[in-house]
Structure 1
């Protein structure tokens, strides 16, 4: 991405590419149940939402707000299927004393996954999704009319990344041993947003510092992702076990998943200490130009 671009040009270029990526992946997800395609779609949608949010003074306000809301709704529609994909991929690693009850729980999860996939396909083939994509291409894949649209893309990107970093720092530093799972999930969302901006706007900044910071974020995200996966899976397993009349098996499975959650939580301190250390702060300064 050329350093001479204006912010309006740079954001339009990024959002045009993401539009085409989402359109392609949406069609492929409708044709295939491959979990990797769903993962790629989720990432692209969330990257677009992060860039749209960062473009609050670059993009046209009405189009920005409308698209951001619709992207958030779309991202939410993908969550259940993704959680079920991850749970079922590792389900054979879970054990109970009652093999029949375990099979009944799995069967319930498989049926629920089929239902979740059907709902997502209907969303991706809906008029509402078509309207989102048409509005995105029309309003956001062209230079916007915000006050920062004519400013240096490098400078605007640096400021937006700096803001995202501050949100991560606030969320991470607020976590202690008594923090509920929701606080870890909030930090995870903030860290993802920063990562997405580095992925999509970081080409305007110092590439070596950007790549090093992304690697540090990946390690934190692995810990936070394992924690949130366990939280979501515990809820899914409890519901499936109750529906299958397998309460005892559900309790055993919940206990195993609770141990995974605790292990991820125990690994948080080291991962956060690395990201909040002096090296990461130096990298942020190099990326943002501060």
Structure 2
């Protein structure tokens, strides 16, 4: 087994251990960072697997990781909102939503997506070794490098599109950044570029949160007191995003 193929195996096994630990922390219901850490581990796993699409050994695992990421996203959004409301001292608003959060944890733990992911993780090492033995992984590092470069080209094109969509740019930036973190030797991106990607992602995250919260406030009357503040913050976030995106144009040949 080649060095690259062996390194992939070790990284996935380490993430499997992390995901098991996060599940136990969620079951204990005493760790407010458990879901956040679970999603970070899922993101790292998906970033490893995304450039390997088309490799049969990886496709099922990628699908299960994506599904768990999808169903846990709204729960994480609720966690972020509650932390924000707590910081504002809005205890009643937090108390009204806390049962929904706890029920969300229970629903996530009971969902078929969690055991399905662990079943796929258990099966993956054998499938990966078999794919290597069958010469299905020949030239894999070069394929990954080409796919990372393609992601970067897509981001560069989107950055100069006058009709660019911030939601799509947020997704593209995350994919480029996390892909580079998963494959630092293949991405070709400098530390400075990675720092700018991180700053742009953070600014887009602030914008996305405020936009979501304003949408919630249209349906949840007890959030009305925050609307003016959130609108001001949204405008500031949009300005910060535009500045960060302009800086990124220099890094991606725009």
1:65 aligned onto 2:59:
yes
1:45 positional shift: 0.6
Distance 1:88 1:159, change over 3 A: same
1:81 positional shift: 2.1
1:225 positional shift: 0.7
**1:107 corresponds to which of 80, 88, 95:** 95
| Deviation per residue, 1:141-169 (Å, 9 max, x gap) | 7755797722263x344322212212322
Structure 1, gaps ≥5 residues long? 96-101, 242-246, 283-290
Report the 3-state secondary structure (helix = DSSP H, G, I; strand = E; otherwise coil) of the residue aligned with 2:3. coil
Report the 3-state secondary structure (helix = DSSP H, G, I; strand = E; otherwise coil) of the residue aligned with 1:73. helix
Q: How many residues align?
A: 252
TM-score w.r.t. length of structure 1: 0.74
* Distance in 2 (alpha carbons) for counterparts of 1:34 and 1:136: 29
**1:28 corresponds to which of 17, 20, 25:** 25
Match of 1:232 in 2: 212
Q: How does 1:1-290 map to 2 (within 5 A)?
A: 5-6=3-4, 8-57=5-54, 59=55, 61=56, 63-94=57-88, 103-123=91-111, 127-140=115-128, 144=132, 149-151=137-139, 153=141, 155-174=142-161, 176=163, 183-204=165-186, 209-239=189-219, 241=220, 247=221, 249-277=222-250, 280-281=251-252
Report the 3-state secondary structure (helix = DSSP H, G, I; strand = E; otherwise coil) of the residue aligned with 1:267. helix
Q: What value does the CA root-mean-square deviation take over the aligned residues? A: 3.0
TM-score w.r.t. length of structure 2: 0.83
Q: Choose 134-143 or 190-199, whichever is displaced more.
A: 134-143
